[in-house]
Amino acid sequence: MNVAQSSASAALNALDALYNSGTLTLYQGAIPATPETPISAQTALAKFTFADPAFAAPIFTSLQEVAAASFANPSVAPSADGTACFARAVASTYGTVLADYTVGAAWQPGATVMAGQYVVSNGNTYVCQTAGTTAASGGPSGTGTNIADGTAVWNFNNAGSTDIVISTTALNTGIPLNVTSLTHALPAV
């Protein structure tokens, strides 16, 4: 199916309106199997509130309609120290879960990483399988599993970036955090 730009834009506008004044909470721990799976052992680290409207008007680029998120306060102080691995968006009405997102930052040399953590390296996203310390240079590459990187072990997740990009996944209560990128996209021709 080839979706028209106007149809994709209308669908994206309808989806994005659900986020108005909702929240985006960053968590440490493994991303749940589905957005319907309750949060259990994961630790909440930081909470952002979406603006109203939560997303800019969609624009057409590279065969898709794309809309960028906007937050009521673009900088928040984390409520706990930890490593951000995923985020959950919740609607302001009835606390309905809207989506779970992968959260990551650029790969860093000599960094301590935990299982479930995402990094962006060599144009791809990887999820940490075995916690450890990354190598002094390079970073994971390729599309396989069990990719050694210092004492850490990674699995290829996908080509491109994580859903949400932040400057560092190592959050500290004393250091404000900004979301660098969160966009929604729908294919269109």
Q: 8-63: per-residue pLDDT in tens?
A: 999 999 999 999 999 999 999 989 999 999 999 999 999 999 999 999 999 999 89
Contact 177, 76 (CB under 8 A): yes
Return the pLDDT at 168: 86
Tokens 């994709």 -> residue: 8
Q: Going by DSSP bridges, is the β-strand pair 64-71/177-187 parallel, antiparallel, or unpaired?
A: antiparallel
Q: 89-135: per-residue pLDDT in tens?
A: 999 988 899 999 999 989 999 999 999 999 999 999 999 999 999 99
Distances (CA, A) of 167 to 92, 106, 120, 188: 26, 8, 11, 30
Residues 6+ apart with CB under 8 A from 153: 128, 129, 130, 132, 146, 147
Tokens 């590459």 -> residue: 141
Q: For the chain, how many structural domains are there in total? A: 1
Structural domain including 51 reads 5-187
